[in-house]
Amino acid sequence: MILADRDIAWYMEKGLLRIEPARPDTVRENGVDLRLGDEFCRFNPQAPELDTRKPFNRDLYYICTRAGPEGYTIQPYEHVLATTVETVCLPDDLVGLVNVRSTFARLGLYIPPTVIDAGFCGQVTIEIIGSAYPIRVYPGQRFLHVVLVKTTSPVAKPYNGKYQGQRGVTPPRLDKS
């Protein structure tokens, strides 16, 4: 079941769903909108082969910057990591399905399927794939729409993985197995 605005407001009023900071335009008809943070990381095209069984060096594989009021330009077909302004904390009976807002999708920006697991708490790191032309985005813009789905029962094991509590752009935390 997809939560409507009234259900979302109820979850927030009860403190079961936390979105901080929440603004008057956060809760929408059938989901919540999240804003872009100011940290962006470009994939480094000069990086060497990445061995997924060896320690990961963020500085070798990403070029990270903070965007100011001048914004941040996503180049054509470029892959960029970004984060949300908001910290999102889901209870053990809600899952978030993350989409780019339709205005940005109509410009050709894309994000791969992203799920916020039941029990997750932290800022959301997303991958943005650029359009056919450069697009400048700005910190604070409503960029994502998250549809909240109620599970049939609370999950037995709420999320408590390696990204719990993440702040800012969080690169992959590779398993060593």
Residues marked active site are found at 127
DSSP 8-state assignment for residue 141? -
- CA dist 1 and 8 (Å) reads 12
DSSP 8-state assignment for residue 147? E
Query: Which residue intervals of the chain are DSSP H helices?
Result: 5-13, 58-61, 102-105
* Residue 162 in tokens: 């390696």
Q: Closest by alpha carbon to 142, among 17, 58, 24?
A: 24
Cβ proximity of 132 and 76 under 8 Å: yes
Residues paired with residue 174 on neighbouring β-strands, in sequence order: none
- CA dist 14 and 91 (Å) reads 11
